[in-house]
Amino acid sequence: MRIIFKTRYDQDINLAPHGGVVFWYSLLAIALVAAPLIVAPFYVGEVSFLFIWSLAGLSLMVLTGYAGLISIGHAAFIGIGAYVHTYLIRRGVPFAPSLLLAGLAATVAGVVIAVPAIRMRGLYLAIATLAFSAIAQEVFVRWEVLTGGSRGVAVPKPQFFGRTIESETGFYYLCLSILVVCILGVLNLLRAPTGRAWIALRDSEIAAQSMGVYLAGYKVLAFAFSAFLAGIAGGLFAHKVGYLTPDIFTPILSIQLLMLVMVGGIGSIHGAIFGAIFLVLLPTVIALLRDYLPAAIAQQPALEPGIYGLILVFVVLLEPQGLNGLWRKIKFFFSQFPMYKSATFKRQKTYMRTERLQ
x-marked contacts with other proteins along 259-298 as a string, rule CB under 8 A: x--x---x------------------------------x-
How many whole angstroms separate alpha carbon 253 and alpha carbon 276? 13
How many whole angstroms separate alpha carbon 310 and alpha carbon 218? 35
Contact with other proteins (CB under 8 A): which of 83, 223, 249, 308? 308
Closer Cβ to other proteins, 48 or 129, answer by number: 129
Q: Does 302 bind other proteins (CB under 8 A)?
A: yes
How many whole angstroms separate alpha carbon 178 and alpha carbon 252? 25
Cα first-last separation, the chain: 48
Smallest distance from other proteins to CB 232, Å: 24
Number of residues binding to other proteins, judged by CB under 8 A: 53
Phi, psi of 153 (to 5 degrees): -145, 140
Contact with other proteins (CB under 8 A): which of 54, 59, 62, 68? 68
CB 278 within 8 A of CB 264: yes
Q: Does 108 bind other proteins (CB under 8 A)?
A: no
Helices (H), 265-321: 269-290, 295-298, 303-318
Other Cβ atoms closer than 10 A to 291: 7
Residue 46: alpha-carbon gap to chain centroid: 17
How many whole angstroms separate alpha carbon 186 and alpha carbon 194? 10
x-marked contacts with other proteins along 189-228 as a string, rule CB under 8 A: -----------------x----------------------
Q: Does 301 bind other proteins (CB under 8 A)?
A: yes
CB 114 within 8 A of CB 231: no
How many whole angstroms separate alpha carbon 61 and alpha carbon 260? 9
Report helix, strand or coil for 160. Answer: strand
Closer Cβ to other proteins, 179 or 266, answer by number: 266
Q: Which stretch binds other proteins (CB under 8 A): 3-11, 13-21, 80-88, 308-316?
A: 308-316
x-marked contacts with other proteins along 138-177 as a string, rule CB under 8 A: x--xx-----------------------------------
For other proteins, the binding residues (CB under 8 A) are 64, 68, 70, 72, 116, 119-120, 122-124, 126-128, 130-132, 134-135, 138, 141-142, 206, 255, 258-259, 262, 266, 297, 300-306, 308-313, 316-317, 320, 350-358
